[in-house]
Amino acid sequence: MGEFPLDVKEVWITVPQGTVPFVSQGGPLLINLDLSLYSAATPQYFSCRPMVDGRWAGEYGGYPVAPLWTEGLNGPNPGWFAWRKTRVYTGIPAGNHTLTVQCLKFYEYPEDIVVGHPTVPHSVSVIEFH
């Protein structure tokens, strides 16, 4: 797994190698995202979110939608930053699904935010409650 730049302001970008196919029986899903992000010289603000079949996972359960920070806003100081989110999502129907991760940056600074690192891989998981 390599590094992936977030180089466009306020556009959700799917993070490569953060895709998890899964089968659900329709129960609540515990989704965990554990990502490493890097900002060069300027503190950058960003957000990431889990997507199920191309939709933000919270939409299935009627969670409130904030277009640019559905899972919260973060702003690391320059350097590496661990971004983690674990939440239970409801309303996702039974069947075959694909979990992906999207991230975005908020400001147009010359430096990109980089997601991932060759020696610190992403961790993305789904656990269904029964």
pLDDT in tens, 81-90: 888 899 999 9
Whole-angstrom distance, CA of residue 74 vs CA of residue 98: 25
SS3 22: strand
CATH code, domain carrying 107 = 2.60.120.660
Of the candidate ranges 6-10, 11-15, 51-55, 101-105, the one whose mean pLDDT is the lowest: 6-10
Burial of residue 76, with CB atoms counted within 10 A of its CB: 0-12 exposed, 13-18 middle, 19 or more buried: middle
Average pLDDT of 108-114?
Answer: 71
**CB 6, CB 106: distance < 8 Å:** no
Q: Which domain holds residue 35?
A: 4-128
Higher pLDDT, 99 or 36: 99
> Can you give the pLDDT at residue 1?
47
pLDDT in tens, 47-64: 899 999 999 999 999 999
> Can you give the pLDDT at residue 25?
97
The alpha carbon of residue 124 and the mean position of all alpha carbons in its chain are separated, in whole angstroms, by 9
Q: How many domains does the chain have?
A: 1
Look at the alpha carbons of 10, 14, 15, 19 in this order and tell me if their dihedral is positive or negative: positive
